[in-house]
Structure 1
Amino acid sequence: MGHDHAAHARGGTSDRRWLLAALAVIVVFMVAEVVAGLLAHSLALVADAGHMLTDAAALGLAVVASRIAERPARGAFTYGFTRVDALSGQANGITLLLLAVWFVVEGVRRLFDPSPVQGGVVVVVAAIGAVINVLATWLAGRADRSGLNVRGVLAHLVSDIWAFGATLVSGVVVLATGWLRADAVATFVVAALMAWTGLGLVRAAGRVFLEAAPRDTDPAGVAASLVATAGVAEVHDLHVWMIGTTETAVSAHVLVDPEFDCHAVSARLRSVLAEQWSIGHVTLQADHVDAAGHNAAECADAHGEIHVAPAPLP
């Protein structure tokens, strides 16, 4: 199966430009929000800025991971560097979870000892922040969203839009009623969004590291489609796993009916996996089977696409 490395490189460069544009927007506003939050004595604004820091980190990691993932497989890294995508996603998720814990602790303290909050500043900054995050989400969304990097970035940015909404509401409540604890309540909402997003990223990365099948790929369904192929007597030792967030691999031992050519059957099976399941990284061991259902002969492949079982000992 061919692969257009030049096209992939062009796509990666374009993605990085969109991500860098979103990063610039986020960083500029994040600095402004920290200053505004300190001046307004608003923990909710500082919490939002902390969330935006994780957005900036996610964007930065996505850019770096995108560049590293383009490196070809070499040396000890026979699968290449596709799992860098999952590594950065996991790092982003853990960071979000840790920040969520910290903001909950600070929010509890503010519930018992509320600080004076300038509601007008909170409202203005939150409204601008929501617009900025919509712009950053649009920019990042122009990149390829198939990888965990960009999906993680978008999850960050979308949750930030909701967080700014909660902060905006708290500012309005402070202005209208003078109830200062609304700032702490908004902080809890931001922390909950951070925890939800972070947990999702950690779980998604964990599926890659544990070599689970993709959520949209049912191993039982894969086995059924292979067994339904003409000439296949049995399929066992089937493994379906994610090499990275965008690439799936399959390996299996296939027993072929004696009247069929096992190389031709293997070729059909690879076509089935590519067309029905979009899986191109396939390793098959194909053996003929006798009338009793036992291995009768091993198939050899001069091109090495079928892995041959060793001959039985005398």
Structure 2
Amino acid sequence: MHSHSLEPWTHGHVFLGDRHDRHARRTWAVVALTAATMVAEILGGTWFGSMALVADGWHMSTHAAALGIAALAYHFARRHADDPRFSFGTGKFGDLAAFASAIILGLIALLIGAESLDRLLHPVAIGFGPAIPIAVVGLAVNLASVWLLHDDHNAEDGGHTHGGHAHGGHSHGSHAHAGHGGHDTNFRAAYIHVLADALTSVLAIAALLGGRYLGLAWLDPAMGLVGTAVILAWSWSLLRTAGLVLLDARPSAAATREIRERLETGGDRISDLHLWQVGPGHRAAVIALVSDDPQPPAHYKARLAGMRGLSHVTVEVQPCQGHAAVA
């Protein structure tokens, strides 16, 4: 029995996004900015006796917590990227964090809505003079955070496949690094949090100005309800996107069609196809083929070369003479 090194046939399972470290740095920067503002507002509000300032500080604390979850997800994903316990790497840590953030965002929206509805039914006196500068400062912080987290988070997936090795009827390996872009759900979640905070600040400023100069005190709770509706819609969209990734839903009908078009030629037919996302810009596929004239798995993997975002492919080929004629 000969001893062979498996090193040329093995590959890593690091499926982190191309901008993972950049996104992590920016998220930590926003966490620090949000936390500093939160502490300043709570301490300042307590010192000057401003409940509005204290309330806004505690409101920012919920966003700081959600942003902290996003930042920690980047940290743990990088730290455990080579941990063999994670069969397909840690690329979906961010989606798990985004799912949690979406729930927090939805709860924040519901709390704002409940408070706004209560204020609409039971109006209270509003100190428009002190409240407007507070809202403006909050908006400035939020806009700085939005700028830090603004990115091409709708970029298309990148990547290409490489040929693998074959043994028997299987081929493993086809490992590729998704080259350019890739949808980072975790970064999008952080972005939506600061965007939601900026939206509430804009609505608050509009309502306070309307209340002070036009006497429309009802605008304040009404704007709160508008913000609730918008933020809930964003939360649901984020929850759905992250949830589908966590449940290994097929990420793209177009990609599934392209795989079939590339492989189902002549007497070759796909009998089973699994396609799922394993990280930002990275997809994995397990494909079973039946063929009149079976070729080595590497032959079929070569047909998939150049498909964007296809980073890990396993192919199984079974001979089945005359199946195409029967079909």
| TM-score, length basis structure 2 | 0.75
1:123 and 2:154 matched: no
| Closer/same/farther in 2, CA of residues 57 and 217 from structure 1, 3 Å limit | farther
8 Å CA contact 1:232, 1:265 repeated in 2: no
Shift of 1:121: 2.6
Aligned with 2:223 (options 181, 186, 195): 186
Shift of 1:206: 1.0
Listed one character per residue, the Cα deviations across residues 136-156 of structure 1 (whole Å, up to 9, x for unaligned) are 122223698732111111112
Q: Which of residues 282, 289, 292 is equivalent to 2:313?
A: 282
CA contact (8 A) 2:273 2:288 kept: yes
Cα deviation, 1:263-305, whole Å, max 9, x if unaligned, reads 442231341xxx13320111110233423449xxxxxxxxxxx
Distance in structure 1 (CA, Å) of the matches to 2:124 and 2:40: 21
State the AA in 1 paired with 2:302.
R
Q: Secondary structure at 2:235's aligned position in 1?
A: helix
Q: Check the 8 A contact 2:13/2:82 in 1, yes or no.
A: no
Distance in structure 1 (CA, Å) of the matches to 2:205 and 2:107? 24
Q: Distance in 2 between matches of 1:216 and 1:40?
A: 54
Q: Residue 261 of structure 1 aligns to which amino acid in structure 2? A: Q
CA contact (8 A) 2:250 2:276 kept: yes
TM-score relative to the length of structure 1: 0.77
Give the secondary-structure state (helix, strand or coil) at the position aligned to 2:60.
Answer: helix
- Asked if the contact 2:292–2:324 (Cα under 8 Å) also holds between the matched residues in 1, the reply is no
Amino acid at match of 2:276: W
Residue 14 of structure 1, CA deviation: 4.1
Q: In structure 2, what is the equivalent of residue 297 of structure 1?
A: none
Task: State whether residues 13 and 89 of structure 2, in contact with CA within 8 Å, keep that contact through their aligned partners in structure 1.
Answer: no
Aligned equivalents of 2:259 and 2:210: distance in 1?
Answer: 55
Partner of 1:301: none
Deviation at 1:42, TM superposition (A): 5.1
Quote the Cα distance in structure 2 between the aligned partners of 1:206 and 1:12: 20
Q: CA deviation at 1:24?
A: 1.7
- Which residue is equivalent to 1:169? 206
Give the one of 243, 247, 255 matched to 2:282. 247
Deviation at 1:9, TM superposition (A): 11
Q: Is the 8 A contact 1:239 1:252 kept in 2?
A: yes
1:107-256 alignment to 2 at 5 Å? 107-141=116-150, 146-215=183-252, 217-228=254-265, 233-256=268-291
Mind listing any 5+ residue stretches in structure 1 that lack a counterpart?
A: 295-314
Question: What residue number does 1:91 align with?
Answer: 100
Give me the whole-angstrom Cα distance separating, in 1, the residues matched to 2:50 and 2:221. Answer: 14
Pairwise CA distance, 1:22? 1.4
Seq. identity, %: 24
Q: Could you tell me which amino acid in structure 2 is paired with residue 247 of structure 1?
A: H
| CA shift in 2, pair 1:241/1:193, >3 Å | same
Greater fraction of residues in helix: 1
Residue aligning to 1:267:
301
Structure-1 residue corresponding to 2:65: 57
Number of equivalences: 286
1:122 shift after superposition? 2.8
Q: 1:243 Cα deviation (Å)?
A: 2.4
* Structure 1 segments of 4+ aligned residues over 6 angstroms from their partners: 1-5, 142-145
**1:60-75 equivalent positions in 2, closer than 5 A:** 60-70=68-78, 71-75=80-84
1:89-129 deviation line (CA, Å, top 9, x unaligned): 11111111122222222211111211111223332222222
* Aligned amino acid, residue 237 of structure 2: G
Secondary structure of 1:280's aligned partner: strand
| Residue pair 1:51, 1:160 contacting (<8 A) in 2 also | no
SS of match in other structure, 2:250: coil
CA contact (8 A) 2:73 2:93 kept: yes
Asked if 2 retains the 8 angstrom alpha-carbon contact of 1:170 and 1:183, the reply is yes
CA RMSD in angstroms, aligned pairs only? 3.4
* Alpha carbons 2:269, 2:291 under 8 Å: kept: yes
Paired with 2:101 and 2:58, the residues of 1 have a C-alpha distance of 13
SS in 2 for 1:159: helix
2:26 is the alignment partner of 1:18? yes
Q: 1:149 to 1:107 in 2, by over 3 A?
A: same
Structure 2 gaps, min length 5? 1-9, 154-181
Distance, in Å, in 2 between the alignment partners of 1:187 and 1:39 is 23
Higher relative contact order (CA 8 A, sep 6+): 2
Point out the more displaced range, 31-40 or 74-83: 31-40
